[in-house]
């Protein structure tokens, strides 16, 4: 699995504006509540405030229902539960067929040490639902959670919104290289082999994260 680029594109009213975007009343209320019990050192509290605000700003500028921050917690590590409107691949337990399911719920966990130390690519994002995703970067038989590998290692200080963009690209298979011989993070050999043979079905959508249905 090759590590996709995390470069943020220049979108005049989109990603470039996130740091200065004024949150609407709904998102500002979520932020205020989430920051009320912020713990940790002063630098970590400041970083969590920035990361939480940027996640909400990304949700605000995304197409309707593309991303919804359902839970946000900054008491220790930054934690978020995010509902994402995107196609994902499932393998039926009944007949083994690989089908497309629409929608996923992600758990994001950003620890303090990620500010200054590179982290394993599977350390940040888990797919909470649906279970049974058939993806080269997700273990074949996870016990209760499905870690999503976003690369061999991710750099120190990576932004939370970059993790969400990487997760979207990975889940929709816009960024994966399903090569079973690639030791860089393949976690499901069967899925890697399957998608090597089914490249004509990839990606599951060509819509970028900020692109609306019907847009060129």
Question: Bridge-partner residues for 213, per DSSP?
Answer: none
Distance CA 37, CA 33 (A): 8
Name the phi and psi angles at 212, rounded to 5.
Answer: -90, 155
Give me the number of domains the chain comprises. 1
The contacts of residue 122 (CB under 8 Å, 6+ apart) are 147, 148, 149, 150, 185, 187
CATH of the domain at 131: 3.10.110.10
Distance CA 63, CA 76 (A): 30
Asked whether residue 26 is domain-assigned, the answer is: yes
Asked whether residue 9 is domain-assigned, the answer is: no
Classified as helix, coil or strand, 79 is strand
Residue with token string 């405030």: 49
Residue with token string 């058939």: 134
- 58-87 pLDDT, tens digit per residue, is 999 999 999 999 999 999 999 999 999 999
- 118-168 pLDDT, tens digit per residue, is 999 999 999 999 999 999 999 987 667 899 999 889 999 999 999 999 999
pTM, to two decimals: 0.90
Strands 98-110 and 125-129: antiparallel
Asked whether residue 148 is domain-assigned, the answer is: yes
Asked whether residue 211 is domain-assigned, the answer is: no
Looking at residue 128, what is its pLDDT?
96
Mean per-residue pLDDT of the chain: 90
Per-residue pLDDT band at 17 (split at 50, 70, 90):
confident
Q: Which range, of 25-29, 143-147, 209-213, averages the lowest pLDDT? A: 143-147
Q: Which domain holds residue 149?
A: 15-201
């Amino acid at each position: 699995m090759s590590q996709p680029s995390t470069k943020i594109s220049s979108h005049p009213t989109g990603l470039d504006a996130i740091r200065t975007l004024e949150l609407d009343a709904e998102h500002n209320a979520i932020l205020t509540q989430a920051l009320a019990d912020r713990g940790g050192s002063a630098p970590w509290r400041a970083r969590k405030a920035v990361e939480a605000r940027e996640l909400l700003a990304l949700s605000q500028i995304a197409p309707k229902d593309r991303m919804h921050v359902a839970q946000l917690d900054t008491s220790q590590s930054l934690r978020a539960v995010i509902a994402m409107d995107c196609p994902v691949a499932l393998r039926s337990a009944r007949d083994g067929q690989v089908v497309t399911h629409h929608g996923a719920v992600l758990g994001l966990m950003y620890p303090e040490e990620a500010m200054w130390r590179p982290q394993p690519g599977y350390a940040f994002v888990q797919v909470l639902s649906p279970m049974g995703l058939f993806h080269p970067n997700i273990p074949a038989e996870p016990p209760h959670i499905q870690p999503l590998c976003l690369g061999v290692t991710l750099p120190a200080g990576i932004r939370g919104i970059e993790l969400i963009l990487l997760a979207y690209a990975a889940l929709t298979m816009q960024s994966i290289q399903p090569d079973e011989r690639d030791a860089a993070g393949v976690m499901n050999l069967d899925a890697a082999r399957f998608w090597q043979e089914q490249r004509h079905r990839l990606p599951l959508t060509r819509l970028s994260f900020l692109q609306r249905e019907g847009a060129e």
